[in-house]
Amino acid sequence: MRPSGRKTDQMRKVSFERNFSKHAEGSCLVKFGDTHVLCTASLEDKTPPWLRNSGKGWVTAEYGMLPRATGDRMRREASAGKQSGRTQEIQRLIGRSLRAVVDLEALGERQISIDCDVIQADGGTRTAAITGAWIALHDCLKWMETRSMIKVEKVLKDHIAAVSCGIFATQPVIDLDYLEDSAAETDANFVMTGSGGIVEIQGTAEGKPFSQDEFLILLGLARNGIDELVAMQKQAIG
Amino acid sequence: MRPSGRKTDQMRKVSFERNFSKHAEGSCLVKFGDTHVLCTASLEDKTPPWLRNSGKGWVTAEYGMLPRATGDRMRREASAGKQSGRTQEIQRLIGRSLRAVVDLEALGERQISIDCDVIQADGGTRTAAITGAWIALHDCLKWMETRSMIKVEKVLKDHIAAVSCGIFATQPVIDLDYLEDSAAETDANFVMTGSGGIVEIQGTAEGKPFSQDEFLILLGLARNGIDELVAMQKQAIG
Amino acid sequence: MRPSGRKTDQMRKVSFERNFSKHAEGSCLVKFGDTHVLCTASLEDKTPPWLRNSGKGWVTAEYGMLPRATGDRMRREASAGKQSGRTQEIQRLIGRSLRAVVDLEALGERQISIDCDVIQADGGTRTAAITGAWIALHDCLKWMETRSMIKVEKVLKDHIAAVSCGIFATQPVIDLDYLEDSAAETDANFVMTGSGGIVEIQGTAEGKPFSQDEFLILLGLARNGIDELVAMQKQAIG
Amino acid sequence: MRPSGRKTDQMRKVSFERNFSKHAEGSCLVKFGDTHVLCTASLEDKTPPWLRNSGKGWVTAEYGMLPRATGDRMRREASAGKQSGRTQEIQRLIGRSLRAVVDLEALGERQISIDCDVIQADGGTRTAAITGAWIALHDCLKWMETRSMIKVEKVLKDHIAAVSCGIFATQPVIDLDYLEDSAAETDANFVMTGSGGIVEIQGTAEGKPFSQDEFLILLGLARNGIDELVAMQKQAIG
Amino acid sequence: MRPSGRKTDQMRKVSFERNFSKHAEGSCLVKFGDTHVLCTASLEDKTPPWLRNSGKGWVTAEYGMLPRATGDRMRREASAGKQSGRTQEIQRLIGRSLRAVVDLEALGERQISIDCDVIQADGGTRTAAITGAWIALHDCLKWMETRSMIKVEKVLKDHIAAVSCGIFATQPVIDLDYLEDSAAETDANFVMTGSGGIVEIQGTAEGKPFSQDEFLILLGLARNGIDELVAMQKQAIG
Amino acid sequence: MRPSGRKTDQMRKVSFERNFSKHAEGSCLVKFGDTHVLCTASLEDKTPPWLRNSGKGWVTAEYGMLPRATGDRMRREASAGKQSGRTQEIQRLIGRSLRAVVDLEALGERQISIDCDVIQADGGTRTAAITGAWIALHDCLKWMETRSMIKVEKVLKDHIAAVSCGIFATQPVIDLDYLEDSAAETDANFVMTGSGGIVEIQGTAEGKPFSQDEFLILLGLARNGIDELVAMQKQAIG
């Protein structure tokens, strides 16, 4: 029995609120239940130094949590003077995931910076962030298309969405909330494309090691969940 | 003529959304037009070192902006590794303003941390933050009262609200938005209590120096605006 | 009765020692009683990045205190690895105040850096710093005029001086020393030009809020004090 | 054809040099071909704050590369003033992997710090580090057993070893060297126990997404490789 | 011929201004010609962690330069966020030199922090700092003796003074000013006690290596100079 | 009697392992007994900003210790976020020593970065580092000569080697190991050229001051030791 009463293969209620931000070229407030992440996409003329004169652009991401997004207040990273290892790990993952479906040559020598800021956290912030960031990125590219800078279909090759799965109380379940996440024996994050290709797998045994069979069940759950998420993305931008 | 079409003594539409955050003891999303600030109040058992065994508590504040809260993306302070001078100046102001109406002995040896995070900026983020922070602080104290920790009326002695005034195109106006703020000759922030006492005045000549008469007109505008804000605070917590 | 025996409208003994530094283009050791601040003005060829090719120059300021300028030794900021919020607030104020009387176009694409280092502190370091910095800036501009780089009267439009006022033991007083400052109910800093224009006002209620009438009395005290300071500046450079 | 001439399922020559360090309680220089990592295990009496009085100990890891361990000299992290995101990601992985086979209660309130310093890099530094760190940890525990502090078999529940697999030139291969790693389409790191349980999986599509079938082939390669590594660990400590 | 017209064995005019600072327990403005260093000694109750309950005290030093103490303005270390290697080297030297003549047990579990801040630099700031710091330390100990905390003669075993010597234009000379220092072939700093014992020798070939004979000439020059400095210290405190 | 049983003028066993690193242009693992330092020389095209268009190159050095190179684990500097004063002092010394025998004009506008990383420490790490760094530098220059970039004999004017001497248990001894170093009354480091010129002398009284006669005995010991080291360098590169 899941704390939320959800079935093992049932995700939380997911929603996308596009154009949440007045200023950003693309933006989306994504909610996976009580996990709320604001994703903005900012078009910048500067390209990273190693890409100058290469004809290629770049997509990068930064991640942050408001100090009281969580049950206990966490120290503000700006005041601590550095980003934690966890923060850096997540923002590297988001950037890599998005670049997997972007044609950097078709983007041209520009950088799109995706900021994913967790307004409220209840588990699964990185998977919600990736899923919402895709919408913000899409809308930024649409903004560019309107100004004849690029063609969206040339730059954005596929959808990207992500979900966590884990073994909670011996049961494989999808889309863990905080209560499940902190008690799970195994925790895995999956990032896949709209056409079913795998982009990232990160599986960690929190308690005892897991078997290949268990892992394949989690992968199966994730595949169905990501299909749902991609369908919702399509509806959102439709 | 103001860019927004407002009258010189007309504030932007102001709203308070209480309990915006699931986790914080008190929280409020305050909007002054397109300026949106999330204020959370977190009760912490630890008290600053210099107050240990003094019987007194503390109220402190931190301020941040999401990188794309503004027209151009700003560098994330957590990634830059430090808070700007502007950020520190504002968070010191918010903390001082709130402490002006709190009886720290009645609070007891506890700390309340107020986080003011700008989700979207359009001028006047510090005055919106102070005004919303008062609601979050009030609600945190209510939460404590429900648990018989304190009496709200003993701890919170008055309302606090803030507004900016300035001279824009030779006209004294209230509650400057970004367009006005960046062109104003004089910019002043006023923090006052519900009973009309002045807690902070910060006036700056951006272009040419201002006169005492001009300053008194701004102060008069502010007084009316803060009366309105306090009335709205009363309604919000009513 | 003031601890120093001064009358309520009596400033401390003020002196300016020009050319205190062998190396700087302009320098001044300013004393407001036991508060001693060394102000140097350094002409630099580089201009801040955002002014390149604008034809305009810049005046900026940095502020510091020697670790034992105060009654208790404070941690050295260079060793702590960052400037405190208070330091940043003060140096931003000094820079803003000086720029209010400088014609940046007439200065041309150069930067003048004003360093204000507190050798000994006894209250009012920021107001002494502003008042002394004006002398250092003036002398740096004279140095430039001698080399036919600018005309002083074109660049420096007016005098700038500053003084603190406050309510100490229910009495409005001018130019608070440390004993008064740490016990004052209200503390306000005023920056004005030689012709009486107001450039900055910063008033803070340390204890209970203050009224408009009280504030106007402080402003009146400040006006007289600043008139005296400007007269002393004129004599010093005469 | 692999650049090194190895078969697709052939690992590089692996060796362990125990007691490499005179001072550490346990140490091992591990070589996977031209990738050389020095792993030391340091017993420390202090335990992390959050475990005080819990009766439990902790195993943590830090990772570093000598600046010229790589083809081009990299900036020294101590001189840059911070560890890169990559460094933090790797050291978190090493610590997590080792803790998966340690009974922290049986260890008691002590910390073992594992330092993995890359002397020379040629791809696969993190997997070599994990595999060698297990030896250093084992030897540190043996050192403790000799002093009657713990029983090794109570604390160390199993072996841990790691290997990378990837798709290089359309072929699934094991234990990628630098040339393969920088050209691989898919790169996955596997951490497993001696009894075959999976502790960590990290798979990343560098170019195009990968399929479930491809992933399972990589997992199969890894399983065989890790079996070999565990056999070599057994021989080394035998 | 020396730029200043001094003879090869002639030091610059040296002066000590005791009690320069109102707040510090001991202070001295030392001048070696145009090199001016303010030395303050601050008594602190806290002792470094590694000396707790040892019955021993500590003497430590910090060094800084005002940004425009030099011909070109240098970046403020507090704003750069760290102390340079040079600064750290010098402050370690000052602390070591003073501790060589202090009986740390007789001092008791207290720390004296010596701050040496260069107000104006013209070569030899570290040797002036050591020589002046001894006066500040002495006066701090006198302050303590007056309060019956220690006996000066038990704590302070001897004088300490320092001077630089070097080979300038093939001539061995004493007490190099900036012009000489920047052109010297060899530069050596000597720290000695009042009774002629050597505490520190730091000799560096700036251009071509130096011989033992040259070095002995420098040492002889230094010995005479330090005898003079010690005589002046005696007169100053006499 | 020395703890190691060595005679007072007997150095530890010294060895050089050239080409220790696969990637570096020059590299050497130097051992002075149980003190092991890996020195690598990296040729870099960039030259420091202050040498641009000067026709001159630069040789610089960085120094580090693996956290468990020592008896107790030390905090990793990369994780602490800064290099200690000791580290900076040593790396400045290494760089200065090497530059004393390099013709920077003959090197041309290039930089050679020498990294000295202490793998295991037992006293004398800085002198071992300098002695080994010379080999790495030499081999890097040979690498460049092979590519017709420079002539080694034009760039490298002489050998450089270093050794520590000290007074241990009242006896002057050479090449102190950790046990001796931590108990020595006087500790001095000498850097000399192959032709006997002195490049650096650093002598420090750890306990009581030392006399000129004692110092000359240490200098004599050092001279013999450095002659031996230079002979071994010649044999190593022979």
Nearest CA in chain B to A23: B71
| pLDDT, mean of residues B114-137 | 98
Does the distance separating the beta carbons of F79 and D81 come in below 8 Å? no
pLDDT of residue B179: 96
The answer, for D231 touching chain F at a CB cutoff of 8 Å, is no
Of C85, C195, C210, the CB nearest to B89: C85
Give CA–CA dist F197/E188, Å, rounded.
15
Instruction: Among A197, A211, A219, select the one facing D198 at the smallest CB separation.
Output: A211
What distance in Å separates residue C112's CA from the closest CA in chain E? Answer: 11
E209 — contact with chain F (CB < 8 Å)? yes
Interface residue of B68, B118, B178 to substitute, partner A, most A CBs within 10 Å: B68
C99 touches chain B (CB under 8 A): no
Task: Sort out which chain D residues have CB atoms less than 8 A from A201's CB and list them.
Answer: 188, 201-203, 215
Give the start-end residues of each E strand in F26-74: 26-32, 35-44, 58-65
The closest CB to that of B85, out of C88, C202, C209, belongs to C88
- Cα B199 to Cα B97, B191, C208: the distances in Å are 7, 5, 8
Low-confidence ranges of chain D (pLDDT < 70): none
Question: Hey, is the C-beta of B147 within 8 angstroms of any chain A C-beta?
Answer: no
Answer whether C76 sits within 8 Å of E64, measured CB to CB: yes
DSSP 8-class letter at D147: T
Distance CA B46, CA B57 (A): 9
Report the gap between the CA of C198 and the closest CA in chain B (Å): 5
Q: Do D22 and F79 touch (CB under 8 A)?
A: no
Of C192, C172, C86, which Cα lies nearest the Cα of C131?
A: C192
Interface residue B217 vs chain C (CB under 8 A) = no
pLDDT in tens, F22-67: 999 999 999 999 999 999 999 998 888 889 889 999 999 999 999 9
Would you call A209 and D197 a contact, using CB atoms and an 8 Å cutoff?
Answer: yes
Residue whose token pair is 């057993």: D145
Q: Which residue has 């001095």 as its token pair?
A: F188
Compute the nearest-CA separation of D22 from chain A (Å).
Answer: 31
Residue type, B12: R
pLDDT at residue B208 tops 90? no
What are the pLDDT digits (tens) for B36-71? Answer: 999 999 999 888 888 988 999 999 999 999 999 999
Please determine, for residue C207, whether its predicted confidence score (pLDDT) is greater than 90.
no
With H, G, I as helix, E, B as strand and everything else as coil, classify residue C49: helix
- Token pair 């061995």 is at which residue? E172
Is 90 exceeded by the pLDDT of residue F14?
A: yes
Substitution target from C201, C213, C216, C226 for chain B, most B beta carbons within 10 A: C201
Whether residue E208 has pLDDT greater than 90:
no
C125 has binding-site annotation: yes
Q: Give which of E201, E216, E221 to mutate to test F binding, by max F Cβ within 10 Å.
A: E201
Q: Which residues, in sequence order, are CB contacts of A48 under 8 Å at separation 6+?
A: A58, A60, A111
Check if F230 contacts E (Cβ < 8 Å).
Answer: no
Backbone Cα Rg of chain B: 18
CA–CA gap between residue E106 and residue E100 (Å, rounded):
14
D220 CB within 8 Å of a chain A CB: no
Residue C208 has a pLDDT of 87
Give mean pLDDT, residues A207-217: 93
Report the gap between the CA of C213 and the closest CA in chain E (Å). 37
Q: Chain F residue closest to E101 (CA)?
A: F208
Q: Strands, DSSP E only, in E91-159?
A: 111-120
Q: What residues contact E7, with CB distance under 8 A and at least 6 apart? A: none
Q: What is the pLDDT, as a whole number, of residue B46?
A: 80
Residues F210 and F167: beta-carbon distance below 8 Å: yes
* pLDDT tens-digit map of A104-154: 999 999 999 999 999 999 999 999 999 999 999 999 999 999 999 999 999
Binding-site residues from annotation of D for phosphate:
86, 124-126
Is E46 part of the contact surface with chain C (CB cutoff 8 Å)? no
Region A13-39: what's the mean pLDDT?
98
Q: D205–A200: do the CB atoms touch at under 8 Å?
A: yes
Whether the pLDDT of residue F207 is over 90: the answer is no
> Nearest residue of A to residue B73 by CA position?
A42
Q: Please indicate if any CB of chain D lies within 8 Å of the CB of F67.
A: yes
SS3 F138: helix
Note whether D100 contacts A209, CB cutoff 8 Å.
yes
Q: Is the Cβ–Cβ distance between D116 and D37 less than 8 Å?
A: yes
Asked if residue F126 belongs to a known ligand binding site, the reply is yes
- Using the Cβ of F120 and the Cβ atoms of chain D, whether some distance falls under 8 Å is answered with yes
Q: Are residues F68 and D34, on separate chains, in Cβ contact within 8 Å?
A: no
In this complex, do E210 and F200 lie within 8 Å of one another by their Cβ atoms?
A: no
Please state, rounded to an integer, the average pLDDT across all residues of chain F.
96
CB atoms within 10 A of CB A146: 9
User: Subunits that touch chain C (at least 3 Cβ pairs < 8 angstroms)?
Assistant: B, E
Q: Which residues of A touch D96 (CB under 8 A)?
A: 204
Minimal Cβ distance to C23: which of E70, E80, E117: E70
Residue A221 has pLDDT above 90, yes or no: yes
Contact D115 F73 (CB under 8 A): yes
- Whether the pTM exceeds 0.90: the reply is yes
- Chain A residue with minimum CA distance to B77: A78
Contact yes or no for C86/C126 (Cβ under 8 A): no
Which of D36, D68, D115 would you mutate first to test chain F, the one with the most F CBs within 10 A?
A: D68
**Which distant-in-sequence residues (6+ apart) come within 8 Å of F157 by Cβ?**
F101, F102, F103
Q: Which of A89, A102, A165 has the most D C-beta neighbours within 10 Å, making it the best mutation to test the interface with D?
A: A89
Q: Mark yes or no for CB contact D211/A198 under 8 Å.
A: yes
pLDDT at F1: 85
CA-nearest residue to B41 within chain A is: A68
The answer to whether the CB atoms of D79 and F83 lie below 8 A apart is yes
Best of F86, F104, F208 to disrupt the E interface (most E CBs within 10 Å) is F208
pLDDT of residue E176: 98
Q: Is D201 on the interface with A (CB under 8 A)?
A: yes
Give contacts of E81 with chain C, Cβ < 8 Å. 81-82
Does the annotation flag A126 for ligand binding? yes
| Count of CB pairs separated by less than 8 Å, C with E | 94
pLDDT of residue D206: 82
Do residues A106 and B59 touch, judged by C-beta distance below 8 A? no
Is F206's pLDDT higher than 90?
Answer: no
Chain F neighbors (3+ CB pairs < 8 Å): D, E
Q: Higher pLDDT residue, B53 or A193?
A: A193
Minimum mean pLDDT among A45-54, A195-204, D116-125, F144-153: which range? Answer: A45-54
The pLDDT of C157-173, averaged and rounded, is: 97
Beta strands in chain B, from DSSP E residues, in sequence order: 14-18, 26-32, 35-44, 58-65, 111-120, 160-168, 171-174, 186-193, 198-205
**Residues in CB range of C11: below 8 A, 6 or more apart:** C32, C163, C174, C175, C225, C228, C229
Predicted-complex ipTM score: 0.95
Residues of D in contact with A82 (CB under 8 A): 82
CB-nearest partner of A210 from D96, D197, D219: D197
Work out the minimum CA distance from D93 to partner chain A, whole angstroms: 9
Asked whether residue A45 carries a pLDDT value surpassing 90, the answer given is no
> What residues in A contact B136, CB-CB < 8 Å?
none
